[in-house]
Every structure is written in C-alpha cells, then in structure tokens.
C-alpha cells in the first residue's frame, strides 16, 4: 500500500478509534486492528526476546514480544512479577539488547541509550536538594552540553511554565509536595525533548493515598503536555487508571497475552461497572484460564 493510500484510508478512521480496538491471542477473540491503517508507530517492539546468561544457566525473560506505541499514548506494560517488564523497558532505553527481534524508535533500530528516551526514576527525591527547581531542570541540559547557560535557562523556564511550576522556579525540592517533585522530575526529562518517557513502577513503594495522588498528578500533567509514555506496573487498577492502552504479559518468559484499550477509564470511572468488568477480564487473562 502506498503512503498516499494509507493516508487516504486513515482519514476516515481517527487513530484513536483504530487504537481502541483490542487484541488478544488465542482463538475466538478480537482480531488485531489493521496495522496498515495506522501511521508508523513511535516505538515498535518487533519479536523481542530477551535473556540473561548467568554462570549456571540462561534466564529467558521475554519471548517474541511485538507491540507498538504511538505518539501521545500512555502504554502500560502489565504482568506478574518477574515476567520481563523491566527488562523490556531497559531494552527500550537501550541499556540492554534483545537476543532476538528489535526495537525501533521512529523506524530506527535502538542500539543504545539516547536523549530521545528518558527514564524517569521512581525516587522523586532523587532531585539534588541543593539545587533550585530551575537548577534541577537545567542540570541535564548543561551536563550533556546540549545548550549554553542562557539557552538552557530559557528552555527550563519554558518547560516549567508548561507543567505549571513557573512560580516555583526558585524553590528548593524540600519545599515541594510529592506531586510537585514528580512534576519537576518529569519537567527535567521533558526539557531534554525526548520522544518517549519511560517509567518503571514509579509508585510501587508509596502508600495508597499518596500513590493515588501521584497517579492523578501524572494524568493531569499528561493532559497538559501530551507526552508519550511507556509505563510498567503489576497493578491492574493502576494500569487501567494510568494507561490509554495496556499490554498484558504472561508469566516469564513474558509474551504479549493481550492488548486492552483503557482510554475511557479515569478516576471517576473507577467504581463503575465497565471499569470492574475490564479489571475482571485482565485478572482472568493474568491468572485464569491456565493452559486450557
């Protein structure tokens, strides 16, 4: 199909509708969306198998995982502990390489780390406490020699404005709430103008209420900025709240079991019947129907 033809097809079918389709492996379930109708994904996992060789044996972490993340999606990798979620995220970051298959960003094979993919780490207290908010956001720009002092400051101010923290440019991290620190950490990443943000169970260690607030903050920020997010969790509820799409992985070696659309779910839908039904369905995919 020519580019022109793809474009023509895509006009009548907004991407979100195409992505709304759900796919599952196995018989008698919803077929995948016609990928020829979709624009090129931002991030593509193509038959990605990952393994670790230890002295005694080889650990197969994932098996032939194929999935696509599109611009401004919040794609969640969900699966039981040890199924290879972190491994896939590290591979996307370019820290480790697949033993089979490849990962592409904008069509280019990923062969190492780069400023176009930034991992936002879970300890938001990672922000150096002796630097102001502005100093924190400028730091990677300066440390990587990407911009001169003046340009870095301008960029940092612009991003702080974008995330609603302009008034806090001269504050220090200890003066901020947890949610605001998360904003600074994300602003610092966004200042590098990455194509995708990577987050690995960022809220796992938090108490339930704080976790909820951080999830809300993250979604609010996404509404403002519309970054592309690849997010790892083993919580079904968190996946449904945070994700626009969820890739459900099997136990190790992780394979893609299903993709679930979670577009419609936000904090107000949490108690609702649709939310519960999706949570149930994912629960079944993860734990039920064992090898029947």
Ligand X SMILES: Nc1ncnc2c1ncn2[C@@H]1O[C@H](COP(=O)(O)OP(=O)(O)O)[C@@H](O)[C@H]1O
Q: Under the rule (CB under 5 A), what is the footprint of Mg ion?
A: 86
CA 79 distance to own-chain centroid: 14
194 binds, among ligand X, Mg ion, none (CB under 5 to 8 A by kind): none
- Whole-angstrom distance, CA of residue 124 vs CA of residue 204: 12
DSSP conformational letter for 134: H
**Binding piece for ligand X, criterion CB under 6 A, among 29-37, 77-85, 101-109, 272-280:** 77-85
Nearer to Mg ion, 7 or 95 (CB): 95
The answer to whether 74 and 222 have CB atoms below 8 angstroms apart is yes
Nearer to ligand X, 85 or 155 (CB): 85
Which residue's Cβ has the minimum distance to Mg ion? 86
**Residue 13, interface with ligand X (CB under 6 A)?**
no
197 strand-pairing partners = 118, 229
The closest alpha carbon to 33, from 10, 54, 49, belongs to 10
**Residue 82, interface with ligand X (CB under 6 A)?**
yes
Q: Is the peptide bond before 253 cis (omega within 30 degrees of 0)?
A: yes
87 binds, among Mg ion, ligand X, none (CB under 5 to 8 A by kind): ligand X
Nearer to Mg ion, 163 or 239 (CB): 239
Q: Who contacts 231 (Cβ-Cβ below 8 Å, separation ≥6)?
A: 74, 75, 76, 77, 198, 199, 202, 242, 243
**Residue 95, interface with ligand X (CB under 6 A)?**
no
The answer to whether 213 and 182 have CB atoms below 8 angstroms apart is no
Among 85, 117, 155, 257, binds ligand X (CB under 6 A): 85
**Residue 81, interface with ligand X (CB under 6 A)?**
yes
| Site size for ligand X (CB under 6 A) | 13
- Whole-angstrom distance, CA of residue 42 vs CA of residue 50: 21
Q: Smallest gap, in angstroms, from Cβ of residue 181 to ligand X?
A: 24
250 binds, among Mg ion, ligand X, none (CB under 5 to 8 A by kind): none
Q: Smallest gap, in angstroms, from Cβ of residue 199 to ligand X?
A: 12
**Residue 54, interface with ligand X (CB under 6 A)?**
yes
Nearer to ligand X, 192 or 242 (CB): 242
Q: Within 10 Å of residue 13's Cβ, how many Cβ atoms?
A: 13
């Amino acid at each position: 199909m020519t580019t022109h033809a793809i474009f023509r097809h895509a006009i009548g079918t907004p991407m979100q509708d195409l992505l709304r389709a759900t796919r599952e492996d196995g018989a008698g379930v919803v077929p995948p969306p016609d990928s020829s109708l979709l624009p090129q994904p931002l991030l593509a996992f193509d038959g990605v198998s990952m393994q670790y060789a230890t002295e005694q044996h080889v650990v197969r972490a994932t098996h032939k995982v194929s999935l696509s993340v599109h611009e401004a999606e919040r794609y969640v990798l969900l699966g039981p502990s040890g199924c290879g979620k972190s491994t896939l995220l590290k591979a996307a970051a370019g820290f480790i390489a697949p033993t089979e298959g490849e990962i592409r960003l904008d069509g280019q094979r990923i062969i190492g780390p780069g400023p176009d993919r930034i991992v936002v780490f879970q300890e938001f207290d990672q922000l150096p406490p002796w630097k102001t908010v502005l100093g924190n956001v400028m730091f990677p720009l300066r440390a990587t020699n990407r911009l001169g002092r003046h340009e870095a400051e301008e960029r940092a101010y612009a991003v702080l404005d974008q995330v609603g923290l302009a008034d806090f440019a001269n504050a220090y991290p200890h003066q901020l709430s947890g949610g605001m620190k998360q904003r600074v950490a994300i602003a610092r990443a966004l200042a590098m103008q990455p194509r995708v943000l990577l987050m690995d169970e960022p809220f796992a260690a938090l108490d339930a209420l704080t976790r909820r607030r951080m999830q809300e903050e993250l979604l609010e920020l996404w509404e403002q900025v519309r970054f592309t997010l690849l997010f790892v969790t083993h919580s079904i509820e968190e996946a449904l709240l945070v994700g626009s799409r969820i890739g459900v992985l099997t136990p190790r070696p992780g394979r893609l079991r299903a993709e679930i659309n979670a577009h419609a779910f936000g904090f107000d839908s949490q108690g609702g019947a649709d939310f519960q039904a999706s949570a149930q369905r994912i629960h079944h995919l993860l734990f039920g129907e064992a090898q029947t």
